[in-house]
């Protein structure tokens, strides 16, 4: 019996990222934690420039290298053709430029920001600071609004707001070694969502990815949300 169990475990993929569900102030969330040791990437198009748009298509592409997603979620807003609304850097190459945001939906709820990462640091940086600092990013996706800015909630988040959606975003530890990717499992306000990052996860900076279209792939929880094609997707890659 023991040999059979061990043989089964050897056939499983390497451990996926630690995703868990939690309840915070009467709202339910799913959270996936990532460290610098994880192979975190951004995905948008395949080698031929064709939109990936879904977790299943990314997994199909990775299968050629005997890899699979550990976890994944949508990672930024997009135009009707699924092109990024703001900055997108992939494998060290800029695919779309940094944008002001104008009045484009929640992206225009300034300040917005950038999720930037490389092998030695994970960071969420407000757009104007990013423009001045010009940090080196191997991957980057711009979105908005910022949820937490240097320890404070976005100034336009109202405690008594009534707009509620399924929302997802990312927050990063102060030392840049950990990131928490979170999706709400019930509709929440911006204030509630931002408070989770500031007060529970203690992230000094956090960034909103999207709402209504928010989706998660978390195989360790038996979850693979489906729907119409997405734009930029963030996820970890593990060996099969």
102 falls in which pLDDT band (50, 70, 90)? Answer: low
What is the Cα Rg of the chain in Å? Answer: 17
Percent of the chain with pLDDT over 90: 86
Q: In sequence order, which ranges of 12-156 are alpha helices (DSSP H)?
A: 55-63, 127-133
| 18: pLDDT strictly greater than 90 | no
pTM, whole model, 2 decimals? 0.92
Q: 200 vs 4, which has greater pLDDT?
A: 200
State both tokens at 153: 């909630």
- Beta pairing, strands 216-218 & 67-74: antiparallel
Q: How does the average pLDDT of the chain come out, rounded?
A: 92
Angle, CA of 125, 34 and 128, to the nearest 5°: 5
Q: What is the pLDDT of residues 36-70, one digit of tens each?
A: 999 999 999 999 999 999 999 999 999 999 999 99
| 11: pLDDT strictly greater than 60 | no
Percent of the chain with pLDDT over 70: 91
State both tokens at 226: 């489906």
Average pLDDT over residues 136-153: 97
List Cβ neighbours of 174 (8 Å cut-off, separation of 6 or more): 203, 204
pLDDT score at 4 = 39
Q: For residue 225, how many C-alpha atoms fall within 13 Å in the half-sphere facing its CB?
A: 22
Q: What is the pLDDT of residues 23-34, one digit of tens each?
A: 999 999 999 999
Q: What is the pLDDT of residues 205-231, one digit of tens each?
A: 999 999 989 999 999 999 999 999 999
Helix, coil or strand: residue 189: coil
pLDDT score at 2 = 40
pLDDT score at 17 = 64
| 83: pLDDT strictly greater than 80 | yes
Helix, coil or strand: residue 213: coil
Q: What is the pLDDT of residues 166-188, one digit of tens each?
A: 999 999 999 999 999 999 999 99
Q: How far apart are CA 103 and CA 99, in angstroms?
A: 11
pLDDT score at 100 = 84
Buried b / exposed e across 55-79, counting CB within 10 Å, b at 16+?
bebbbeebeeeebbbbbbbbbbbbe
């Amino acid at each position: 019996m023991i040999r059979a169990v061990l043989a089964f475990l050897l056939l499983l993929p390497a451990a996926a990222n630690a995703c868990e569900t939690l309840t915070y102030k009467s709202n339910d969330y799913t959270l996936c934690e990532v460290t610098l040791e994880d192979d975190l990437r951004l995905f948008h198009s395949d080698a031929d420039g064709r939109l990936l748009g879904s977790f299943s298509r990314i997994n199909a592409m990775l299968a050629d290298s005997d890899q699979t997603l550990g976890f994944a979620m949508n990672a930024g807003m997009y135009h009707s053709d699924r092109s990024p609304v703001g900055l997108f850097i992939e494998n060290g190459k800029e695919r779309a430029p940094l944008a002001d945001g104008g009045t484009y939906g929640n992206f225009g709820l300034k300040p917005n920001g950038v999720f930037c990462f490389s092998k030695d640091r994970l960071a969420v940086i407000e757009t104007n600071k990013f423009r001045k600092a010009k940090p080196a990013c191997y991957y980057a996706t711009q979105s908005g609004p910022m949820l937490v800015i240097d320890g404070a909630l976005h100034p336009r988040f109202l405690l008594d707001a009534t707009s509620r959606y399924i929302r997802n975003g990312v927050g990063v530890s102060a030392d840049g070694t950990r990131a928490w990717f979170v999706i709400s499992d019930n509709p929440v306000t911006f204030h509630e969502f931002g408070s989770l990052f500031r007060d529970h996860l203690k992230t000094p900076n956090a960034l909103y990815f999207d709402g209504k279209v928010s989706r998660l792939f978390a195989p360790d929880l038996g979850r693979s949300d489906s729907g119409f094609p997405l734009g930029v997707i963030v996820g970890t890659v593990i060996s099969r």
